[in-house]
Amino acid sequence: IPLLRRALAMSKRPLLLFASPWTAPAWMKSNGDVRGKGTLKGKAGDKYHKTWANYFIKFLDEYAKRNVTFWAVTAQNEPLAGLFTPPQAPTIAFTAAQQRDFIAQDLGPALARSPHRTRLLMLDDQRIHLPHWAKVVLGNATAARYVAGLAVHWYLDAIVPPAWSLEATHKLFPDHFLLYTEACTGFFMFR
């Protein structure tokens, strides 16, 4: 929070902050650990999913008490990576259908009821999952109502041309913006 305050004070224009979760608490996950290949227990609409959605609101509440607001949150950082990550990485695995249902039944309504004007971003994973992921989530009118945009990462961009992923998605869902939210170099050890 002190670093965010310093950055906000130094900026000549307002900074738009977004947050993205890596994992839920171990007791909420199918594998009983914050690390590894677990999903949220149960299914959308149940006590685990409602509680996880409320964690987002409590997070936003606590930062707001310290005069830090978030422009957006993502539903999950790299939800498909949760199926492939090393066992020590903190993560929650979601399929597109699971993310759609969590957004439509839990996270979207929780954000809408909250006092926060925080936008919701979906996917937050490699763009190779587009446009499929967008069709599943935004193809549902209830989920689409809560989603402002799509968050994408660049790590596997060489596999799929932008026209097949970004452009195709934009043509299907022009009212939802596309935003690169994560990128770095050196993630492949052989480079």
Whether residue 115 is contained in a domain is answered as: yes
Which residues of the chain are under the pLDDT cut of 50? none
Catalytic residues: 78, 182
pLDDT digits (tens, 9 = 90+) for 22-77: 999 999 999 999 998 899 999 999 999 999 999 999 999 999 999 999 999 999 99
Q: What is the pLDDT of residue 191?
A: 54
On whether residue 35 sits in a domain, the answer given is: yes
Contact 157, 127 (CB under 8 A): yes
CATH at 99: 3.20.20.80
Asked if residue 117 belongs to a domain, the reply is yes
pLDDT of residue 154: 87
DSSP state of 43: -
In terms of residue numbers, what domain contains 93? 12-190
Number of domains in the chain: 1
- Which pLDDT score is estimated for 63? 96
- Give pLDDT, residue 188: 62
The phi, psi pair for 11, rounded to 5°, reads -75, 140
DSSP state for residue 163 in the 8-state scheme: I
Domain annotation covers residue 40: yes
Establish if 125 belongs to a structural domain: yes
Structure tokens at 32: 């009983």
Predicted local confidence at residue 66, as pLDDT: 93
Angstrom distance (rounded) from CA 112 to CA 128: 30
> Is 7 a member of any domain?
no
Residue 5 is assigned to a structural domain of this protein: no
Query: In 3-state terms, what secondary structure has residue 74?
Result: strand
Cα dihedral 128, 133, 139, 145 sign: negative
The pLDDT assigned to 175 comes to 97
Any domain includes 6:
no
Whole-angstrom Cα distance, residue 93 to residue 99?
9
